[in-house]
Structure 1
C-alpha cells in the first residue's frame, strides 16, 4: 500500500495560482485577480482566463473584456473556472452562451515515497526530441508552440523511460515542476506498445524522488473526470480530490 499522509490545507484559489506558475502561457496579463493566458493555442491551461478572485466591473463586463483579449490574439475565448467558490461567475458565462467542458479533477497527495521504479527513468531539465515525440496531448502530436509552453516555468523535471533502442519510441514520459514545496506533475504519457508494464508508476516515482530531493513535500496533478485508468493509478498512489475546474468556451470558433 502507498504511504498516505495529509497534505497541508490550501484554499482552491491559492492552489490554482500555484499551479498556474508551473504551466504558463507565453503571454500573461492580470485582469483584476483573474489571469489571462495565451500560448498559441496549445493546451487549455496556457490559453484560458484563470477565474480566481474578482475581475474589474460586473461579470458581464468582465466576460466581454476577456473575450476581446483572446480574439485580439486569434484565439477562441476560454475561461478556467474552479469549483467550489465561483458559481456566480460561472452562471454569468453560461448566460453569455459560453459552453462547458467536462470536469477536470485536481488531485493532491504526498510527494511519495512510492515504490522505486522497476525500470530506469531518465530525468532532465529540458525535453529532447524523443521526449517531445513521446508526449501526446489529447492523443495528438505536439504543435510547434508546445516546447516553448512546456519549458516556460522554473525548476522543471522531464522524465522518460526507454525500453527499446531507437528508432523505437520512448515507453513513457512525464513532466514535473516545483513551486514552493509542491511538485506539480503533468504530461504523463505511456506509448500504447508499453501499457500495463508499470512505466507510468515508474515515471511518477522517479519524479517524486527527485522532487523530494529539491524540497517538494506535496504533489498535485490534474486529470479529466472521464480518465478512469489514470484516476485508478493516482488513487493507488494516495491522491485524493482537492477540487475541480472546467473550461467555458465562447460561442463560435
Structure 2
C-alpha cells in the first residue's frame, strides 16, 4: 500500500467510521452524534464531538450527561483531532476522565495477495466467531451486524470449527473499515492477521472501496508495527473523556 494522503478530513472520516460501527440508538445534538449500545465499546456509547452542538458548551455537556444517564450509561465523549481541543479542555476542567489515545490509520486500498491460509468470509458472525472475538453479548451482535455491506472473516483449522483468527470488514461509501481483528494467543506470529487483512481488502475492493481505515490503541505496539509494515499511516488520533463517577 502506498502512503497517499486521505481525501477526507478528520470530521468527515469520523462520520464515515460512525456509519460503519453504528449503535442501535443514535441521536443528533447539533453536529454531535449521541450513541448508545448497552455499553459495548466506547465508539458506540459516547457522543462523537464534531462540529457545533448548537448549545453553549456547558449546556451541551449537561445534555450529554442527561442522555446517557437516562440509559444507565456513564456519559462519555469521543474527541477526534485538534478541532475538539476546546471541548476537551473544558471537560478536563470539569473533572471528566481522559482515556488513552487511539490512532486512526488509513491507506489506499490495494487488495492483498491470496496465500495458503484459507480465510472464510460470512455475512454474519456465528457463535464461534463471537467467542473468538470474546464478545458474545446481544449488544455486541447488534453493533457488529448493524451495517449494509459487512463481512466477518475467520480462519478455522477445521471446517466448522473454532476460529483462531477473526476480523470484521464494512464498506461505507468508498471506504473499507477493518475492526475486531483478533488472533488467539497460541496462533500469533504465523501470518494469520496478514491473511485476514488480505481477504478483507480483496472483499472491500470487490465492493468498490478505494481506501481503508482502522483504529488501534496507542499502547498496542505489535498491532501498530503490523499496520505500519502494511503501509498504513496515521490520519489523526482521538480519545474519550468520561464524566466523573459521582456526578
TM-score class, shorter: over 0.9
Which of these residues, 140, 144, 153, is aligned with residue 150 of structure 1?
144
* CA shift for structure 1 position 142: 3.3
User: Comparing 77-86 with 33-42, which one deviates more in the overlay?
Assistant: 77-86
* CA shift for structure 1 position 164: 4.0
Determine the C-alpha separation between the residues in 2 that align with 1:199 and 1:156.
20
Determine the C-alpha separation between the residues in 1 that align with 2:171 and 2:205.
10
Structure-1 residue corresponding to 2:101: 103
Contact 2:6 2:107 in 1 (8 A): no
1:17 aligns with 2:11: no
Structure-1 residue corresponding to 2:85: 87
Structure-1 residue corresponding to 2:177: 184
TM-score, with length taken from structure 1: 0.94
1:199 aligns with 2:192: yes
Determine the C-alpha separation between the residues in 1 that align with 2:184 and 2:146.
25
Structure-1 residue corresponding to 2:26: 28
Matched pairs, number: 246
Structure-1 residue corresponding to 2:124: 126
Give the 5 Å matches for 1:45-56: 45-56=43-54
* CA shift for structure 1 position 144: 3.0
RMSD of aligned C-alpha atoms?
Answer: 1.4
Which string of whole-angstrom CA distances, capped at 9 and with x for unpartnered residues, describes residues 94-130 of structure 1? 1111000000000000222333233000111111111
Structure 2 unaligned blocks of 5 or more: none
* CA shift for structure 1 position 93: 1.0
Determine the C-alpha separation between the residues in 2 that align with 1:57 and 1:216.
36
Which of these residues, 206, 225, 239, is aligned with residue 232 of structure 2?
239
Structure-1 residue corresponding to 2:42: 44
Secondary structure of the 1:73 match is: coil
Determine the C-alpha separation between the residues in 2 that align with 1:251 and 1:156.
36
Contact 2:167 2:178 in 1 (8 A): yes
Contact 2:155 2:196 in 1 (8 A): yes
Distance 1:195 1:210, change over 3 A: same
Contact 2:168 2:181 in 1 (8 A): yes
Determine the C-alpha separation between the residues in 2 that align with 1:185 and 1:222.
8
Determine the C-alpha separation between the residues in 2 that align with 1:213 and 1:142.
29
Contact 1:22 1:177 in 2 (8 A): yes
Which of these residues, 193, 203, 210, is aligned with residue 210 of structure 1?
203
* CA shift for structure 1 position 166: 6.4
Contact 1:103 1:246 in 2 (8 A): yes
Determine the C-alpha separation between the residues in 2 that align with 1:118 and 1:236.
20
